[in-house]
Structure 1
Amino acid sequence: MPHTRRTDGVLLALAVVWGSSYLTAKTATDALPVLIVLFLRYAVGAVVCLVALGRSGPLTRDERRYGTLLGVTQAAVLVLETFGVAHTTAGNAGLIISLTLVLTPVLDRGRLPGRFFLAVGVCVAGVGLLVSGNGLRAPGAGDLLMLAAAVVRAGHVVLVGRVTAVRAVRPFPLTAVQTAVGAVLFLLPAAPGLPALARTGPVTWAELVYLALGCGLCAFLAQTWAVQRTSATRASLLLGTEPVWALLAGVCLGGERLTALAVLGAALIVTGTYWGQSVERAQRAPVAPGVPAPSPDHADTGVPQVR
């Protein structure tokens, strides 16, 4: 079992890293404008990717074409996420963005059983309570931006799945192109504020490097390694703890406070997300009578690439 424990440990560490990214992004945007944070998050990752890309061989036409398309959609996700987390709490951001896990099957499959939409309803109710504060109120601008980010990210995940299913593209070169496209897209908007980097302290630079490499490139490679060694169900359960870690990071490290309604909302979001995932998995891979179920080693490892 050491092999299983090692794989589970990597997936759980990945969920912790991604969960912590919301608080890191929030503190970084407190020190620097959002557009500069986005540019540097992409630029640092792009430099590392381009250096490492030399070992992967030349890019194919499909990798350039689809990497550019996915780079644009990924940039749209990060714009909404980063502006959103700048105007809400890290805990709220991590929990609301977890709706991607139940929105993705809706966009990808269309026809799903009624109990799946009941799970979505539980999540929506949870979001309403989470953003309510001490009493029911309309969600703030940051919460709405995170909701929009969840929808756009779900579309991005569907696009990634369809592109990689029908095209011979390699994960790392595809990621490298996406990262380079993001750096180019944010260079011009961020350019007027770049002189401010001369006054940026080492803590903020460390946060930017962590977002670019720890929560980006290294996390993607770790996920690819891990999901090849376990089942989709096991990987989804472990990665699905990301919003819990986002909430804990916000409360324990960011000094954020939770009301009783927010705690109930967080519980409903996590419950609804797990329920929706289980319904979708059962619908996606029914086992016909007399046909043995696939073993975990050969199960579908199509865990959504939501980062």
Structure 2
Amino acid sequence: MLSAIRASKVDLVLLAVAIVWGASYLSAKAITPFATVPAMLSVRFGIATLAMIAIWLIRRNKFSKTDLMLGTLFGLTQSAIMTVETFGLKITSATNAGLLISLTIIFTPIMESAWKKRWLPRSFFLAAVGAIVGVGLLVTGNGIQEPNWGDVLLFIAAIVRAVHVTAQGVLSKNREASSFNMILMQCLTATVVFFVLDI
């Protein structure tokens, strides 16, 4: 009973994250005509950084060398991903962007299994092909913008994001690292990168 309740709570949290994540594409699409990509992203990451600093001041978790080094590294890769993703979003529709970047969910386990040299079951690849075909049909379907260079950029961003996620798991494994501290460093690094690019 308790495990079922916990599972339901996790599902609700994931659903909430998905709603916010999806809404962020609509918001970003609405803002892109009025602001440069670096300016928009510096504000976006700046707000996230301030929120995380406020939480950190309460928790006071000490930063390890791994937190600082990997957080900065992943902040740079995250900056690259968001740059490609947002430029793609400027060209294509928010719907196409959300659908294409969701391919990260498929690419990540493939890359992780390749790194660990453990082949995924055949059922995964059948499901992956179905998902990719489904995304393709939705992107080119009725009422949705035809594929363009923005879609290509989003597809590239999905691959790079999968590399980013896989690298996070591989490089932080068996190391003294705090997920919260590393994410804080990622946000801070991205804020600085985009602020400098917007000068």
Same fold (TM over 0.5): yes
Q: Is the 8 A contact 2:75 2:190 kept in 1?
A: yes
Q: State the match for 2:182 in structure 1.
A: 174
Read off the aligned partner of 1:120 and give its amino acid letter. A
Is the CA contact 2:42–2:194 (under 8 Å) kept in the aligned structure 1?
yes
The C-alpha deviation readout for 1:276-304, integer Å capped at 9, x for no partner, is: xxxxxxxxxxxxxxxxxxxxxxxxxxxxx
In structure 2, relative to structure 1, the CA distance for the partners of 1:7 and 1:126 (3 Å cut) is closer
Is the 2:68–2:182 Cα contact (8 Å) retained in structure 1? yes
Asked if structure 2 preserves the Cα contact closer than 8 Å seen for 1:84 and 1:93, the reply is yes
> Amino acid of the residue matched to residue 141 of structure 1?
W
1:62 equivalent in structure 2: 66
Q: Give the TM-score normalised by structure 2.
A: 0.84
Q: Is the 8 A contact 2:99 2:139 kept in 1?
A: no
Aligned Cα root-mean-square deviation (Å): 2.3
Which residue in 2 is equivalent to 1:95? 99
Q: Confirm or deny that 1:151 pairs with 2:159.
A: yes
Amino acid in structure 1 at the alignment position of 2:86: T
- Do 2:29 and 2:89's aligned partners in 1 also have CA atoms closer than 8 Å? yes
Equivalence for 2:35: 32
1:256-275 equivalent positions in 2, closer than 5 A: none
> 1:82 aligned to 81, 86, 92, which one?
86
Q: In structure 1, what is the equivalent of residue 171 of structure 2?
A: 163
In 1, distance between residues paired with 2:133 and 2:112?
23
Report which of the two structures shows the higher radius of gyration computed on alpha carbons: 1
1:126 and 2:134 matched: yes
Shift of 1:148: 0.6
Gaps of 5+ in 1: 192-307
Identity of aligned residues (%): 39
Distance across 2 between alignment mates of 1:9 and 1:108: 27
- Residue 12 (structure 2) aligned to one of 9, 14, 21: 9
TM-score using structure 1 length: 0.57
- CA contact 1:42–1:180 (8 Å) conserved in 2: yes
Give the helix-richer structure, 1 or 2.
2
Matched position secondary structure for 1:166: coil
Q: Aligned to 2:45, which of 35, 38, 42?
A: 42
